């Protein structure tokens, strides 16, 4: 009787997904088939309550009875692991328990599929709908593990991933001098009228350095939290620091600590909690909100100093798909590369550690430079912790550009988690000539600090020419970057350890941000600015493969030797270097860089890419 009941329910479920090839995922025995399709015609109908009541039990029995399940290509590696554990259950009771386990997932549907009907379809079989993401034609659901394989066989579904957690990613760096931004500021550019969305841990909106000095009102013109139960204030202390690098006016330090675009407006979209952690769904929702508010606040830039490890191709990753939609909506997206450049756990010497969504070819991915607290650029070196390309799975050449990120002074959110845990990072008011009892500034290091310098520069560039497209902005920044040619350097970390780096295209990208050149060299290319793909031939040569419609593929003036510099290339697009990226396949790190397997496994979190205690010594 159990077999007959289960089989009938499978027939009913297949009607919910008429073209989902359900029988390929769960193939009942012939006895179950014959029981479900008797000689006389029987109409199998179920109420919604009965569907939900029997669903978990039915699928559990079937899954336990079948042989090993094939890996579902529409499911992320983590979700496939859930199915593997379900299939490995030692008893029907264990299978039922694992099948009933609830997971939060982001489901993306195919282009052309009507989103409302797709959401209702998932709800109809027991999925709990938690949020809608129009920008990626998808939604956030809580579903039992038992539904995963069936959902993966729905032709309207393109990809399903867990709602992963997101992570946070001076003597004073001469950030405005090093990036040749001071001459632009001195020429009168301030970023006035440009809105920059800071998707981070929140912003201390009443910090005096974020006030409009003409009106007395805060330049944090909009705030919203995407963390349930929390407002948009900065309890962690990361987003305020980022916002200051973009748009601080130096009020509390008499102009000593200034951001790049000192009159730009900040749109505060909080996605990280008081410990600097968040989720994919919060980031996607914040990006969606930025697009919705674009015209209201003239949002031309999104700064994402947050990210997580890469688990699949950018073409499937929901955060990457969201940033692409922002880019196509006319918003420049600037992303921190990540702080895993020292990570040799996979024997890659830190290569292929760029995080999502910095692995997307559309966005501007920013690595971190150490200025060694000097105004001269002659002693500048790459920060040892700055993540390196090429990206996992897709081999995109990243980062795109670099900027100072080591021991950067910016705004302090007093009493925040970072402030409480690392009080030594506070800058004494006496340093900037103040007699105040409490500090207004602190130091942090990381690609989180490098990205907002670029975001501020983009605001200045768009102030100078409001008609520039995101692709033109990226192209101008990369072509006019100060080229850093091949060399080796050793960095001494705050932990007392030495780290060796070579300067190649997967470390420095197109070079160091040069705001002045980007603004005053006004060539306007046509085409796209998609970051190229790294390819490796049978002789071990690594080359850049350009999109045929990109700037770099269609013009000698914008060719790869111009944009990335002759010092990083030898011959026709051949990338210079001798790291594991160019090694032979006997190296254990080789398969990690050039393979297509999942490297990082579980425990992926989205965080802010800054460090309170880990930095390179000057």
Quote the CA–CA distance of 238 and 248 in Å, as a whole number: 14
Query: For 55, what's the count of Cα atoms within 13 Å in the CB-facing half-sphere?
Result: 27
Identify the burial level of 264 via C-beta atoms within 10 angstroms of its C-beta, where 0-12 means exposed, 13-18 middle and 19 or more buried: buried
- Residue 374 CB neighbour total at 10 angstroms: 15
Q: Which residue has the tokens 């386990």?
A: 101
* Closest listed residue to residue 266, CA positions, set 214, 216, 235, 303: 303
Query: For 323, what's the count of Cα atoms within 13 Å in the CB-facing half-sphere?
Result: 31
Phi, psi of 561 (to 5 degrees): -70, -25
Give the model's pLDDT for residue 15: 42
According to CATH, where is 3.30.70.80 located in the chain?
Answer: 2-163
**243: three-class secondary structure by DSSP:** helix
Task: Answer for the pair 36, 5: CB distance below 8 angstroms, yes or no.
Answer: no
Task: Answer for the pair 334, 455: CB distance below 8 angstroms, yes or no.
Answer: yes
Q: Cis omega before residue 399 (within 30°)?
A: yes
What kind and span of H or E run contains 283? Answer: helix 280-292
**470-479 and 447-464 helices, crossing angle to 10°:** 110
User: 566-577 burial string, b = 16+ CB within 10 Å, else e?
Assistant: ebbbeeebebbb
pTM for this structure? 0.84
CATH class (in words) of the domain with range 175-529+584-608: alpha beta
Give the model's pLDDT for residue 168: 55
Quote the CA–CA distance of 182 and 537 in Å, as a whole number: 44
User: 223-244 burial string, b = 16+ CB within 10 Å, else e?
Assistant: bbbbbeeeebbbbbbbbbbbbb
Among 439, 448, 455, 610, which one carries the catalytic annotation?
448
Quote the CA–CA distance of 442 and 423 in Å, as a whole number: 9
The low-confidence residues of the chain, meaning pLDDT below 50, are 1-44, 49, 52-53, 55-69, 170-173, 571-573, 580, 582-594, 596-605
According to CATH, where is 3.40.50.200 located in the chain?
Answer: 175-529+584-608
Q: Which residue has the tokens 């496994």?
A: 601
97 contacts: CB under 8 Å, gap ≥ 6: 89
Q: Is 200 a catalytic residue?
A: yes
Quote the CA–CA distance of 416 and 240 in Å, as a whole number: 10
Q: Is 177 a catalytic residue?
A: no
Q: Which residue has the tokens 């073209």?
A: 19
In Å, how far are 4, 425, 507, 531 from 366, measured between CA atoms?
59, 24, 10, 13
Quote the CA–CA distance of 295 and 33 in Å, as a whole number: 57
Phi, psi of 52 (to 5 degrees): -65, -35
Residue 25 C-alpha from the chain's centroid: 33
Task: Answer for the pair 408, 363: CB distance below 8 angstroms, yes or no.
Answer: no
- Residue 549 CB neighbour total at 10 angstroms: 11
* Closest listed residue to residue 608, CA positions, set 102, 257, 242: 242
Quote the CA–CA distance of 146 and 6 in Å, as a whole number: 14
Give the model's pLDDT for residue 71: 73
The full length of the chain comes to 618
Quote the CA–CA distance of 319 and 282 in Å, as a whole number: 10
**Strand-pair partners of 250:** none
Percent of the chain as helix, strand, coil, to the nearest 5: 35, 20, 45
Report CA torsion sign: 337, 342, 344, 348. Answer: positive
Report CA torsion sign: 413, 417, 423, 425. Answer: negative
Among 82, 153, 207, 238, which one carries the catalytic annotation?
238
- The CATH number of the structural domain formed by 2-163 is 3.30.70.80
Q: Is 238 a catalytic residue?
A: yes
What kind and span of H or E run contains 200? Answer: strand 195-200
Quote the CA–CA distance of 190 and 454 in Å, as a whole number: 14
What kind and span of H or E run contains 381? Answer: strand 381-382
First-to-last alpha carbon distance for the chain, in angstroms, is: 75
Query: For 383, what's the count of Cα atoms within 13 Å in the CB-facing half-sphere?
Result: 35
> What is the dihedral angle through the alpha carbons of 535, 364, 530, 289, rounded to the nearest 10 degrees?
130
Give the model's pLDDT for residue 382: 86
Task: Answer for the pair 109, 118: CB distance below 8 angstroms, yes or no.
Answer: yes
* Closest listed residue to residue 409, CA positions, set 453, 449, 386, 443: 443
Quote the CA–CA distance of 285 and 106 in Å, as a whole number: 12
Among 154, 156, 163, 200, which one carries the catalytic annotation?
200
Quote the CA–CA distance of 121 and 115 in Å, as a whole number: 10
Quote the CA–CA distance of 102 and 127 in Å, as a whole number: 10
335 contacts: CB under 8 Å, gap ≥ 6: 304, 305, 307, 323, 357, 358, 360, 363, 364, 365, 366, 451
589 contacts: CB under 8 Å, gap ≥ 6: 346, 347, 348, 349, 351, 580, 583
């Amino acid at each position: 009787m159990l077999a007959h009941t289960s089989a009938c329910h499978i027939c009913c479920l297949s009607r919910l997904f008429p073209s989902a090839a359900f029988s390929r995922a769960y193939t009942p025995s012939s006895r179950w088939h014959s029981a479900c399709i008797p000689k006389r015609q029987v109409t199998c109908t179920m109420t919604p309550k009965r569907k939900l009541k029997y669903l978990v039990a039915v699928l559990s029995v079937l899954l336990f009875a079948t042989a090993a399940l094939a890996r579902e290509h529409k499911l992320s590696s983590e979700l496939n692991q859930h199915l593997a554990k379900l299939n490995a259950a030692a008893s029907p009771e264990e299978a039922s328990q694992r099948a009933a386990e609830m997971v939060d997932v982001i489901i993306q549907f195919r282009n052309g599929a009507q989103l409302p009907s797709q959401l209702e379809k998932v709800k109809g079989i027991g999925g709990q709908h938690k949020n809608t993401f129009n920008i990626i034609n998808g939604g956030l659901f809580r579903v039992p593990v038992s539904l995963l394989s069936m959902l993966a066989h729905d032709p309207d579904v393109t990809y399903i991933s867990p709602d992963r957690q997101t992570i946070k990613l001076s003597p004073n760096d001469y950030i405005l001098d090093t990036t040749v931004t001071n001459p632009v500021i001195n020429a009168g550019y301030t970023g006035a009228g440009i809105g920059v969305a800071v998707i981070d841990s929140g912003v201390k909106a009443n910090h005096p350095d974020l006030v409009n000095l003409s009106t007395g009102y805060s330049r944090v013109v909009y705030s919203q939290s995407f963390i349930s139960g929390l407002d948009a204030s900065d309890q962690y202390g990361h987003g305020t620091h980022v916002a200051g690098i973009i748009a601080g006016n130096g009020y509390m330090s008499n102009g000593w600590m200034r951001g790049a675009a000192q009159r730009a407006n900040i749109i505060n979209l909080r996605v990280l909690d008081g410990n600097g952690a968040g989720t994919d769904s919060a980031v996607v929702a914040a990006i969606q909100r930025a697009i919705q508010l674009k015209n209201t606040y003239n949002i031309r830039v999104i700064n994402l100093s947050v990210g997580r490890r890469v688990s699949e191709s950018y073409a499937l990753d929901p955060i990457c798909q969201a940033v692409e939609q922002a880019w196509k909506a006319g918003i420049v997206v600037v992303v921190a590369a990540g702080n895993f450049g020292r990570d040799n756990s996979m024997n890659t010497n830190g290569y292929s550690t760029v995080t999502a969504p910095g692995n997307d070819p559309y966005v501007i991915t920013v690595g971190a430079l150490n200025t060694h607290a000097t105004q001269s650029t002659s002693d500048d070196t790459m920060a040892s912790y700055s993540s390196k390309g090429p990206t996992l799975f897709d081999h995109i050449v990243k980062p795109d550009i670099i900027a100072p990120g080591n021991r950067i002074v910016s705004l302090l959110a007093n009493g925040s988690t970072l402030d409480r845990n690392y009080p030594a990072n506070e800058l004494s008011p006496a340093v900037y000539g103040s007699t105040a009892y409490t500090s207004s500034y602190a130091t942090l290091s990381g690609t989180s600090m490098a990205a907002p310098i670029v975001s501020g520069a983009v605001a200045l560039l768009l102030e100078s020419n409001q008609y520039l497209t995101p692709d033109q902005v990226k192209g101008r920044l990369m072509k006019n970057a100060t080229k850093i040619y091949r060399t080796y350097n050793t960095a001494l970390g705050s932990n007392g350890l030495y780290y060796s780096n070579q300067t190649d295209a997967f470390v420095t990208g197109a070079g160091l941000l040069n705001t002045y050149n980007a603004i005053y060299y006004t060539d306007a290319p046509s085409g796209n600015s998609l970051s190229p793909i790294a390819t490796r031939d049978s002789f071990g040569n690594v080359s850049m493969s350009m999109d045929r419609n990109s700037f770099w593929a269609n013009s000698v003036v914008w060719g790869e030797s111009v944009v990335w510099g002759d010092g990083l290339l030898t011959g026709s697009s051949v990338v210079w270097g001798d790291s594991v990226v160019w090694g032979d396949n006997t190296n254990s790190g080789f398969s990690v860089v050039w393979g297509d397997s999942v490297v990082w496994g579980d425990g992926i979190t989205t965080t802010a890419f800054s460090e309170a205690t880990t930095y390179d010594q000057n």
